[in-house]
Chains A and B, each alone.
Chain A
Amino acid sequence: MLLRTMPPQRIWLLAGYAAAAAALFCAPLVLSDFRLNLLAKFLAYAIVALGLDLIWGYTGILSLGHGVFFGLGGYAMAMYLKLNAGGGRLPDFMDWSGLTALPWFWKPFGSLTFAVLAGILLPMLLALVLGYFTFRNRIRGVYFTILTQALVIITVTLFIGQQAYTGGTNGVTGYGKLFGYSLASPDTKRFLYWVTVVLLFGAFSLCRYLVKSRFGKVLRAIRDGENRVRFIGYNPAVYQKVAFSISAGLAGLAGMLFVLHVGIISPSMMGIVPSIEMVLWVAIGGRGTLGGAVLGAILLNSAKSAFSESYPDIWILFMGALFVVVVVFLPKGAAGLFSQLKRVGRRKAADEGANGVRHPAV
């Protein structure tokens, strides 16, 4: 009944989502434990890509600072794991640095609820504060991008510098258990994989809802002409702040999942290069399409792990070249290429003359 009222593209789209969901849920049946773990990591990355797409693809604000938000989430989870692995003892790196008591800000991370909340809310708060001081003054475009990059640099230096509290360059690692279950056991890994799949779908649905809502339309309007939005009566700064903050929260969530899958978080995972790589995932998949962002993250990381295991040097060259090619020739990424091909095909096949987009509401 419902299906009959929908235009055919939407039915196909829904079918596609359902197929993707089924495939992801069944993946543990086919993949080896090692591959499954990799896929789980990529799915966590896909959550970051969704958030980045929201802020970059839809709102037009490029953040090169998502590594920081990802890292904050990761550290929150790692701190919880570390405290519970030690059985009440001080984390090893604090011992080495001569600390005798647990620093006050570590204490609440003994609780999983607090750690999970902090892993999402801290990045959101940081984004909100940075957004408040920048968007309010109409600092945007490249200026904002450069500030986010500076944010990455100072956070990384800070985390490396404050070794006693953060574990320095080595980061926080050396924990193996969650609720008494070993993180390395295949069963736990499978469970965590499913958790990640569910959260990815949750994040996807959230982003899809936001993008389709009037909020999403205002975001796109801001991308088109921020000042014009003002004269209609919207305050773009608030919209930008909220979008940036949601995006940061998703990155934090992904960081937590990442730590569960990989078992380590260190400053090098939130640095400039990882942050800009995240942008590449979205660029490759197609900014402004959520499915594209997810696919981009999974595809690029699959390619990376396939290549860089054997030819790390060539991988870097490849990645550099990819940036150039995508930006110059495929500004809309793979999703754009796909719809371009589709349009060419449709024009050949059908008599539909209008080149506009069909609006579901009319």
Chain B
Amino acid sequence: MKEQTGSVILRCDEVTVDFDGFKAVQGMNFSLTRGELRFLIGPNGAGKTTMLDVICGKVKPAEGKVLFGGGVDITRKKEHQIAELGIGRKFQTPSIFPSLTVFENFEIAMKQNRGVFAAMRAKLRREERERIAAQLALVGLEEKAAWRAGGLSHGEKQWLEIGMMLLQEPEILLLDEPVAGMTDGETEKTGELLQQIRKTQSIVVVEHDMEFVRSFASKVTVMHEGKLLKEGSMEDVQRDNRVTEVYLGKRRDADASRSTA
């Protein structure tokens, strides 16, 4: 686990995704190093979410490869295998288990043996209970541990899902617009949390909120029409003519998200 930071943990080579003739991603290259917090931006329809889908196995690419860790090819692996290898995903719309309680959501998400028979025998050990309690405190849901998750507010569901993913202890976290629908304070808290997480894990964030990206990004990847447009620091990216061009038509959007941030 404790390998030197800077080594590559995820590499996507020439990934192409074909939705019945529509190429959502075309020959995308992407690589992530350990302990990196990477932001993936681009106008709507650029293929950002599809890229996350490819990495976590939800979408199988028509061409190209995704290599994880020391070069394990995960392109053809099933979603649950990829999750077990250590890639966690948070979806754009909060997807939690509404009929389980908040506590139970955490309990099944927690890193553990996921086999059927292990699950039949599993007992909640003391340290596990403490970990869940700590996670509940971190995401501010201690009071609501016994609530059915379906009864939480939108923002609380977001936090619940983030908490679930942290308990999963993945090596890479894929987050799709984590701060959408959060208040300024919560956005700030999320940003700090991400900085905290990157000390031990790697993160890829798809985000539209430019203010948020600017405050927390070290390296940014810009996608446009399924292709890599530019990669570099936020300043590099902002100075790039092509990026401005792509965003020009979307200027109003960018303004809008800036003003809401």
A residues contacting B by CB (< 8 A) are 210, 213-215, 217-218, 220-221, 223-225, 227-236, 238-239, 242, 354-359, 361-362
Contact in complex: A356, B148 (CB < 8 Å): yes
Q: How far is the CA of A164 from the CA of B70 in the complex (A)?
A: 62
Interfacial chain A residues near B101, Cβ < 8 Å: 356-357, 359
Q: A225-B97, A357-B101 are in contact. Are A231 and B56 (CB under 8 A)?
A: yes
93-130 of chain B: CB within 8 A of chain A: 95-101, 103-105, 107-109, 114-116, 119-122, 124, 129
Q: How far is the CA of A165 from the CA of B107 in the complex (A)?
A: 51
Contact in complex: B114, A224 (CB < 8 Å): no
Q: A214-B119, A242-B116, A356-B101 are in contact. Are A232 and B83 (CB under 8 A)?
A: yes
Q: How far is the CA of A35 from the CA of B247 in the complex (A)?
A: 80
Quote the shortest CB–CB distance from A187 to chain B (angstroms). Answer: 39
Interfacial chain B residues near A361, Cβ < 8 Å: 103, 124, 129
Quote the shortest CB–CB distance from A75 to chain B (angstroms). Answer: 29
Q: Chain A interface: which of B3-11, B37-45, B139-147, B211-219?
A: B139-147
Q: How far is the CA of A273 from the CA of B131 in the complex (A)?
A: 50
B34 CB within 8 Å of chain A: no
Q: How far is the CA of A210 from the CA of B108 in the complex (A)?
A: 15
Most buried by B among A223, A227, A233: A233
Contact in complex: A228, B114 (CB < 8 Å): no
Contact in complex: A357, B114 (CB < 8 Å): no
Q: How far is the CA of A229 from the CA of B116 in the complex (A)?
A: 13
B residues contacting A by CB (< 8 A) are 56, 58, 78-80, 83-84, 88-89, 91, 95-101, 103-105, 107-109, 114-116, 119-122, 124, 129, 144-148, 151, 164, 168
Q: How far is the CA of A362 from the CA of B129 in the complex (A)?
A: 9
21 inter-chain pairs at a CB distance below 8 angstroms, sorted by A residue, are A215-B120, A215-B122, A217-B107, A221-B100, A224-B97, A228-B91, A231-B56, A231-B80, A232-B114, A232-B164, A234-B80, A235-B78, A235-B80, A235-B114, A242-B116, A355-B151, A356-B101, A357-B146, A359-B101, A359-B146, A362-B103
Partner of B84, one of A228, A229, A233, A354: A233
Interfacial chain B residues near A357, Cβ < 8 Å: 101, 146-148
Interfacial chain B residues near A223, Cβ < 8 Å: 99
Contact in complex: A356, B147 (CB < 8 Å): yes
Q: A230-B79, A233-B80 are in contact. Are A356 and B151 (CB under 8 A)?
A: yes
Contact in complex: A359, B145 (CB < 8 Å): yes
Nearest A-chain residue to B133, judged by Cβ: A362
Q: How far is the CA of A222 from the CA of B206 in the complex (A)?
A: 27
Quote the shortest CB–CB distance from B54 to chain A (angstroms). Answer: 13
Interfacial chain B residues near A355, Cβ < 8 Å: 151
Q: How far is the CA of A228 from the CA of B99 in the complex (A)?
A: 14
Quote the shortest CB–CB distance from B52 to chain A (angstroms). Answer: 11
Interfacial chain A residues near B122, Cβ < 8 Å: 213-215
Beyond the given A224-B100, A238-B115, please list 14 additional residue pairs across the A-B interface where CB-CB is below 8 A.
A214-B120, A221-B108, A223-B99, A228-B96, A232-B83, A235-B80, A242-B116, A354-B146, A354-B147, A356-B101, A358-B146, A359-B103, A361-B129, A362-B146
Q: A213-B120, A224-B99 are in contact. Are A231 and B79 (CB under 8 A)?
A: yes
Interfacial chain B residues near A354, Cβ < 8 Å: 146-147
Q: How far is the CA of A213 from the CA of B122 in the complex (A)?
A: 7
State the 3 A-B residue pairs at the shortest beta-carbon distance, nearest first: A233-B83, A356-B147, A359-B146
Quote the shortest CB–CB distance from A55 to chain B (angstroms). Answer: 14
Contact in complex: A359, B151 (CB < 8 Å): no
Contact in complex: B99, A230 (CB < 8 Å): no
Q: How far is the CA of A235 from the CA of B56 in the complex (A)?
A: 14
Most buried by B among A220, A231, A238, A358: A231
Most buried by B among A217, A220, A227: A217
Q: How far is the CA of A228 from the CA of B95 in the complex (A)?
A: 7
Quote the shortest CB–CB distance from A326 to chain B (angstroms). Answer: 20
Interfacial chain B residues near A235, Cβ < 8 Å: 78, 80, 114
Interfacial chain B residues near A359, Cβ < 8 Å: 101, 103-104, 145-146
Interfacial chain A residues near B95, Cβ < 8 Å: 225, 228
Nearest B-chain residue to A356, judged by Cβ: B147
Contact in complex: A239, B124 (CB < 8 Å): no
Q: How far is the CA of A255 from the CA of B124 in the complex (A)?
A: 37
Nearest A-chain residue to B79, judged by Cβ: A230
Partner of A210, one of B58, B80, B99, B120: B120
Contact in complex: B109, A215 (CB < 8 Å): no
Q: A220-B99, A228-B97, A361-B124 are in contact. Are A214 and B108 (CB under 8 A)?
A: yes
Q: How far is the CA of A236 from the CA of B78 in the complex (A)?
A: 11
Partner of A214, one of B98, B107, B145: B107
Q: How far is the CA of A354 from the CA of B114 in the complex (A)?
A: 33
Quote the shortest CB–CB distance from A80 to chain B (angstroms). Answer: 31
Interfacial chain A residues near B124, Cβ < 8 Å: 361
Quote the shortest CB–CB distance from A151 to chain B (angstroms). Answer: 23
Quote the shortest CB–CB distance from B95 to chain A (angstroms). Answer: 5
Most buried by A among B83, B108, B147: B108
Contact in complex: B80, A230 (CB < 8 Å): yes
Nearest B-chain residue to A233, judged by Cβ: B83
Q: How far is the CA of A231 from the CA of B91 in the complex (A)?
A: 10
Q: How far is the CA of A210 from the CA of B145 in the complex (A)?
A: 22
Most buried by A among B56, B96, B116: B116
Q: How far is the CA of A220 from the CA of B95 in the complex (A)?
A: 14
Q: How far is the CA of A229 from the CA of B79 in the complex (A)?
A: 10
Q: How far is the CA of A233 from the CA of B108 in the complex (A)?
A: 10
Quote the shortest CB–CB distance from A227 to chain B (angstroms). Answer: 8
Interfacial chain A residues near B109, Cβ < 8 Å: 232
Contact in complex: B89, A231 (CB < 8 Å): yes
